[in-house]
């Protein structure tokens, strides 16, 4: 038998709220998804003014990061190095776009964060901010 850790709903909502506050201060809008260690959705936000495509993309970025235990952009890079379609991963939810980050606690993936609707640099900055928040919170 083995035990797994997952982000709680409260932790996921804290991440969503922190990112929402930062985006509102910058007058930007995005979609933010937080998943458990299996890539299944815990919490989600679509901000006012965010287009529809980022809804599913944010969820898929978090799914990919959790399932592959690495950033979704790194998954995309590796598929370009050895060309094969993302469908070879066995699930249509996989994506190779950057913006999905796994959340690690004590070396174990406990969830993932996916952000979509902004430029890649801003998504990466928000992801790093969110990871710092989760790491700081779960270390207590």
* Domains (range + CATH), the chain: 9-138 (3.30.450.150)
The pLDDT > 70 percentage for the chain reads 91
Give 67's pLDDT tier (boundaries 50, 70, 90).
Answer: very high
Q: In the predicted model, is pLDDT for residue 140 greater than 60?
A: no
Q: Cα separation of 78 and 73, whole Å? A: 9
CB-CB contact of 133 with 15 (8 Å): yes
Q: What is the structure's pLDDT at 138?
A: 64
pTM of the model: 0.91
Q: Cα separation of 122 and 63, whole Å? A: 20
- Segment 16-38, tens digit of pLDDT: 999 999 999 999 999 999 999 99
Q: What are phi and psi of 95, to 5 degrees?
A: -140, 150
Q: In the predicted model, is pLDDT for residue 83 greater than 90?
A: no
The average pLDDT across 125-133 equals: 90
Q: What is the structure's pLDDT at 78?
A: 77
The average pLDDT across 87-105 equals: 87
CB-CB contact of 129 with 75 (8 Å): no
Q: Which tops the pLDDT comparison, 31 or 92?
A: 31
Retrieve residue 51's tokens.
Answer: 């287009």
Q: Which tops the pLDDT comparison, 128 or 91?
A: 128
Q: Which helix (H) or strand (E) holds 4?
A: none
Q: Cα separation of 42 and 27, whole Å? A: 25
Give 52's pLDDT tier (boundaries 50, 70, 90).
Answer: very high
Q: What is the structure's pLDDT at 139?
A: 59
Retrieve residue 74's tokens.
Answer: 């790194």
């Amino acid at each position: 038998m083995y035990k797994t850790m997952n982000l709680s709903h409260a932790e996921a909502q804290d991440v969503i709220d922190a990112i929402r506050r930062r985006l509102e201060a910058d007058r930007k809008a995005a979609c933010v998804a937080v998943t458990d260690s299996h890539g299944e959705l815990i919490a989600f936000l679509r901000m006012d003014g965010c287009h529809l495509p980022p809804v599913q993309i944010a969820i898929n970025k978090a799914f990919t990061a959790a399932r592959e235990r690495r950033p979704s952009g790194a998954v995309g890079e590796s598929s370009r190095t050895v060309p094969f379609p993302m469908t070879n991963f066995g699930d249509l939810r996989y994506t190779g776009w950057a913006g999905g980050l796994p959340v690690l606690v004590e070396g174990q993936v406990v969830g993932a964060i996916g952000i979509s609707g902004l430029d890649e640099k801003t998504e990466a900055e928000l992801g790093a901010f969110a990871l710092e928040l989760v790491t700081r919170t779960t270390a207590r």
